[in-house]
Amino acid sequence: MKLPYRWLFVGCGVAVAGVLTAFALSPFGRGIIYFLFAKRNVPFDQPRLEAVVEEVKARGIKPGEELLFRLDNPKDAKSLRPRARDERIPRGRGAGNVWAAREPDGPLIVIIETSDWGHAGEYGYAYSEVRPHKTSDGRFALGDLEDNLICTDPHADVAKNWWDVENCYMN
């Protein structure tokens, strides 16, 4: 009588393990696992990110101007190119997007997207010569231009003038 119950438990265990494995291997399951357990942003690499900021500065952004760029190779600052506002980047492929703005009085803001987890969020680092400030809707923004770059917390600084940011968008 013991034998049928043992096989029942073994069979149920195998079935549960199979369902969990199938879930973990599905795109939805991988997204959930990454969201729960993975570090969402890449490690802060200041020299590489500073090189991107220098490339942006070399483009001569005028006071009051906001520009979009794309790093075709996120590891090579020289691959920075202008990006059209209507250029479509598929969800999950946003790493390499760069937003840059110069305040009317001169400070520069550059946001570099370093990882894009699709629906689980977009992450990166912001270089800003101004500190983040609270907006009327309770979020934090970098700069005072009409299209504030909203995405950071004033306590998320990782180095002088650098902040860890997530889910940035232009207001």
Query: pTM above 0.75?
Result: no
pLDDT in tens, 40-56: 678 889 999 999 999 99
The strands making up 140-142's β-sheet, listed across from edge to edge, are 133-134, 140-142, 149-150, 169-170
Tens digit of pLDDT for each residue in 62-107?
998 889 999 999 889 999 999 987 888 888 888 889 989 888 888 8
- Work out whether strand 66-71 and strand 122-128 pair parallel, antiparallel, or are unpaired: unpaired
